[in-house]
């Protein structure tokens, strides 16, 4: 690929990726914080015989948002917040292919002598197998114990970080762990959160009982996305600081620590 074409492709994809990511992450945190503020109003709302609500001020006007789990009147138009997630993932995957699978950043002779074909297979396998393992854990009985399932997932991330940094370049290892988080987050939106919302909407329109288990499962996947966002962003920007991150001797250990610290930081962000 000519250098000018490669640079323009890189620039445009990064612009789309960052812009779509801002929309997606911003909406995720907006609704996460909104949900937290709603919880603070639940008791007062119950005593007053109304739904939980949050008053906000922005751009010189006031807005009120109330929480309705079973609305009697459904609007004709609902905004699903879905395309931002898909565009973010597609643009990120295209960047992964441009910079790593065809751009020469995947291999490091000082790490291993693996060929390009094998390295690409490992990179793609990380996304596919990683999501499958995550899905299997949280859909199994382990998913009923978030602390246990979360601890297992973290230990698997540590093992993945160690394995990747010993077969592909440190930079590629870091970005693939981040890509795995992004893949899980996008899949959560399209495979778990949206289908659950559609089923609940269909039940309400047909006058059938509301399945609160669906809402709870969708909510948990949103929480997962909230916790993965902080380490994901850190892993993305870590590529600009090789000495401190992927270029260090124990880069896998630094990656593991960053993920843990960022997950703890996300816990404080999640609180109302």
Residue 205, pLDDT score: 75
The Cα 139–Cα 143 span in angstroms is 6
The Cα 205–Cα 173 span in angstroms is 47
Domain count, the chain: 1
Q: Tell me: the pLDDT tens digits for 163-186?
A: 999 999 999 999 999 999 999 999
Domain span at residue 130? 3-270
- Percent of the chain residues past pLDDT 90, beyond the cut: 48
- What are the residues facing 58 on neighbouring strands? 61
What letter would DSSP give residue 179? H
64 phi and psi, to 5 degrees? -125, 135
Question: What confidence tier does 216 reach under pLDDT thresholds 50, 70, 90?
Answer: confident
Helices 146-164, 116-139: axis angle to 10 degrees equals 170
Examine the pLDDT at 71 and tell me if it is beyond 70: no
Question: What confidence tier does 203 reach under pLDDT thresholds 50, 70, 90?
Answer: confident
C-alpha closest to that of 81 among 179, 191, 184, 194: 194
Lowest average pLDDT, out of 22-26, 67-71, 185-189, 191-195, goes to 67-71
Lowest average pLDDT, out of 29-43, 93-107, 161-175, 227-241, goes to 29-43
Question: What confidence tier does 156 reach under pLDDT thresholds 50, 70, 90?
Answer: very high
C-alpha closest to that of 21 among 138, 181, 154: 181
C-alpha closest to that of 251 among 182, 164, 180: 164
Compute the average pLDDT of residues 215-242: 87
Examine the pLDDT at 211 and tell me if it is beyond 80: no
Lowest average pLDDT, out of 114-128, 164-178, 213-227, goes to 213-227
What is the reported pTM? Answer: 0.88
Compute the average pLDDT of residues 231-250: 91
Residue 72, pLDDT score: 64
The Cα 97–Cα 165 span in angstroms is 19
The Cα 269–Cα 272 span in angstroms is 8
């Amino acid at each position: 690929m000519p250098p000018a074409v490669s640079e323009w492709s890189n620039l445009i994809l990064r612009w789309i990726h960052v812009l779509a990511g801002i929309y997606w992450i911003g909406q995720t945190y907006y609704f996460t914080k909104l949900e937290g503020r709603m919880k603070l109003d639940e008791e007062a709302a119950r005593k007053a015989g109304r739904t939980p609500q949050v008053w906000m001020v922005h751009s010189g006007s006031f807005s009120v948002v109330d929480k309705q789990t079973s609305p009697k009147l459904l609007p004709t138009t609902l905004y699903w917040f879905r395309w931002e997630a898909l565009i973010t993932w597609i643009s990120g995957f295209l960047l992964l292919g441009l910079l790593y699978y065809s751009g020469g950043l995947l291999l490091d002779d000082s790490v291993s002598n693996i060929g390009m074909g094998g390295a690409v297979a490992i990179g793609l396998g990380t996304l596919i197998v990683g999501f499958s393992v995550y899905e299997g854990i949280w859909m199994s009985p382990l998913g009923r114990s978030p602390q246990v399932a979360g601890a297992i997932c973290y230990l698997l991330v540590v093992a993945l970080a160690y394995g990747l940094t010993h077969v592909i370049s440190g930079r590629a290892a870091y970005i693939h762990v981040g890509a795995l988080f992004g893949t899980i987050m996008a899949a959560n939106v399209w495979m778990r959160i949206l289908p659950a919302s559609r089923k609940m909407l269909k039940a309400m329109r047909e006058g059938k009982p509301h399945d609160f288990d669906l809402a709870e499962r969708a909510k948990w996947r949103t929480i997962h996305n909230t916790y993965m966002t902080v380490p994901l962003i850190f892993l993305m920007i870590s590529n600009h600081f090789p000495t401190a991150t992927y270029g260090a001797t124990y880069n896998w250990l630094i990656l593991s620590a960053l993920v843990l610290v960022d997950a703890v930081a996300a816990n404080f962000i999640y609180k109302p």
